[in-house]
Amino acid sequence: MPTTLTAGSAAPDFELENDRGERVELSGLRGKWVVLYWYPKDDTPGCTTEACEIRDSWGLISGEAELFGISPDSVKSHQKFRDKFSLQFPLLADPEHVVSELYGVWGPKKFMGREYMGVDRTTFVIAPDGTIAKVFAKVSPAGHALEILHTLTELKGSA
């Protein structure tokens, strides 16, 4: 079930705990560009590729926006993932998938004939006014960091 949120939609507010045990509230970031990227699971091949590419581009991305990775994993799992791969950006824990459902990225999945519920790899770029500026659906992990950077540069240039 793909998200129904589109560019121009108000970004739903939320509060989640990050990998450092701190609470992060989206409305507290108003006035800044924000990137929320959903990924299925810590320390799996695709999720590691995506996170490490963001890490490697962090010097450029961090100057453009606040960025958060979000998955249903626990804070403890996020801490291990962060430390293992030296990730500089915060990972938000959504173990009850409340925020994932709010953003429409939690739904039925199929893999090798097995059905289960999980995260659709999706990224939202949120403008300083709290509206969604861009949605990346069905994200391919490899190359996504550069897509994010290019989009932020383009959106900020036209703002």
Show the DSSP H helices in the chain as ranges: 45-56, 58-61, 75-85, 98-102, 144-158
φ, ψ dihedrals at 28, nearest 5°: -75, -10
Q: Decide: 19 and 75 in contact? Cβ < 8 Å.
A: yes
Q: Which two tokens stand for residue 49?
A: 């590729």
Q: Which residues are designated catalytic?
A: 47
Q: Which two tokens stand for residue 85?
A: 């791969």
